[in-house]
Amino acid sequence: MGVPEIGSVSIADLESVKGKLGLPVERDFHFAPRHTISVYARAARTEGTITECHAVLDKAAADSAPNVAPTPNPPQLRLQRRTPGSFRANHQ
């Protein structure tokens, strides 16, 4: 942990992570992405941490595709639990 990267993770691994106060990882239901995952990863590598700073994200987007504007409302990916430890992605 501590190095931003794109990859996959198992639900069991996420459920086992505890923060400094012993609290588990939670999903942010209010997060609405403005960019693709690769832009967020590029910005995180540049900043050394995950960021939601619009200026940093817009710069990372411009660096990856100079003529492409940020997506104002990208499609939402919604996970539905089917069985314990199993999720299905639904594009909204």
CA dihedral 13, 15, 16, 21 (to 10 degrees): 140
- CA 52, CA 68: separation in Å to the nearest integer? 19
pLDDT digits (tens, 9 = 90+) for 48-75: 888 889 999 999 999 876 555 655 665 5
- CA 19, CA 1: separation in Å to the nearest integer? 12
- For the entire predicted model, the pTM comes to 0.54
- CA 62, CA 67: separation in Å to the nearest integer? 7
Write down the residue that tokens 């200026």 correspond to: 55
Percent over 90 (pLDDT), the chain: 17
pLDDT of residue 57: 93
pLDDT of residue 80: 53
